[in-house]
Structure 1
Amino acid sequence: MKSENDTMKLNERQIEYGFNYYFKEERDKIKSVVELSEFNGEDKLSINCTQLDYWIEKHGKKEKDKKRILNEWCEFLKQNSTVFTELDFGTRMPQELFDAVCNQKHLKRLEIKWGAYKDISAIENLSNIELLHIGSGAGVVSVKPISKLKNIIALSIENFQKITNYDDLVELTTLESLSIEGDGMGPQYIKIDNINFISQMTQLRFFRLLTERLQSKDYSPIFHLKNLEYLTLSKNREVSKLHSELSKLPKLKWGLIKTKPEIYQK
């Protein structure tokens, strides 16, 4: 019979720091490109094909090359659907590029820094995705498509300004790591009705909730997460009241609740 540890997929470092933490030695192994012509058969790639004003000036290109470069990538991603297992996008992602990426049937990891995508329904096509970061999606109108990802083990979503209800995420029974945040740089806060859904996600090992305004002001559903090893929450009156109890969750060893108690006691 398999033990609980046998079923875990995220390693210790991914739980301690977050699956998408920037480790330079790891990121340096991933080739970064702008144009499709730079691609040489890699299955892991960092594509930065928008926000090209400086790049165009530096390389003596023309303004019209911006659209050409974007279009070439969109067509390639749509027509060659089994090429990539990992993709990272560090520049603004428009809707057409998001939809094109979602044709990649073998994709296991996808990280998007930010973009102007409203409709993320195409993400349902990424049936093999395990690690997913959707950064600063202020226009996103529904998280329902994410709930269809039956192999996902780590999810990070940022600045979903139009979403206040995350109940659909309960469907992600394979999820070990969940991060929901506003935009900490702004900061831009997101509003969330409640986190009652969390009480049903007892398999979670990592939970981070930051730059949010929790309308219910009730963080007690977190007490159901007996498998949590990492927990970071916003500093506010409600969290401060619960801090002592939260820090005693049986498996907790990382995250600000455990490692920086002084934050919540000030």
Structure 2
Amino acid sequence: MKSLFRILGIMLLLVAVALTSAIITMQLVIHGAEVSVPDMRGKSIAEADGESAHLGLRMQVANHFYSAAIPAGDIMDQTPAPGTRVRTGWPLRVTESLGAQKVTVPALTGMQDRIAMLEVHRAGLDLGSVAYLPWPQAVSGAVLAQTPTAHAKDVASPNVQLLVAAPADEDTPTQNALVMPNLVGKIFTGAALTVTHAGLRLAPVKEVAVAIPPVGSVNSTAAPRPPVLTGSVLAQTPLAGYQVTPGTTVTLTVAK
């Protein structure tokens, strides 16, 4: 009987040792899967990419902006922030500097949309959003407005956005009715240009402070949310797609 109890005691001890070892091993594995995000700002894309790969992070170039202070090809900003602890395999989104603006923004207003798009690419710029708006005073397909404006200086982004005259809607009950464009996500200057060129009135802007989104738990598999750009439109009234008439007041809520 004593021998049986002795055997059971030894077996329980072995089980306890095995469980303790498994817990310690699991903790080491989890801890080993975490890395501290390095500061990539000011480094070249190639250098940052190599360092990210060494740490097990997936670097992605999310944006490109002009900068007179940061040389072309170097990193301006990053998400997650330096020092954040994340799991290996986590995406590291960076913003690449294009250096000082050297290209000239072409004058596109009045051109047909297809020709304007070709001019954008020919100038070495990227085509941003293209919004179509019924506008009976203009030829269908003609560019009504652009942002940045022609020959603009100190442009932040290489994207050119266009507002194009669309064919009049035959089913529109009011001859001068317009379809409210979607302005959410656009930089305020471009959104304001769209509003004024559409014959609408811009109400005083509502500014809202926006906090940096949390990175999330290291155990989460969801990608971190990109930060909201200062000066971007968060909300609009009337909503996109609503029918409006020239002179309608548009209220924009902008991130500050």
Select the structure of larger CA radius of gyration: 2
Q: Which has the higher contact order (CA 8 A, sep 6+)?
A: 2
Q: Report TM bin, short chain.
A: under 0.3
**Which one has the bigger helix percentage?**
1
Structure-1-length-normalised TM-score: 0.24
Structure-2-length-normalised TM-score: 0.25
**Which one has the bigger strand percentage?**
2
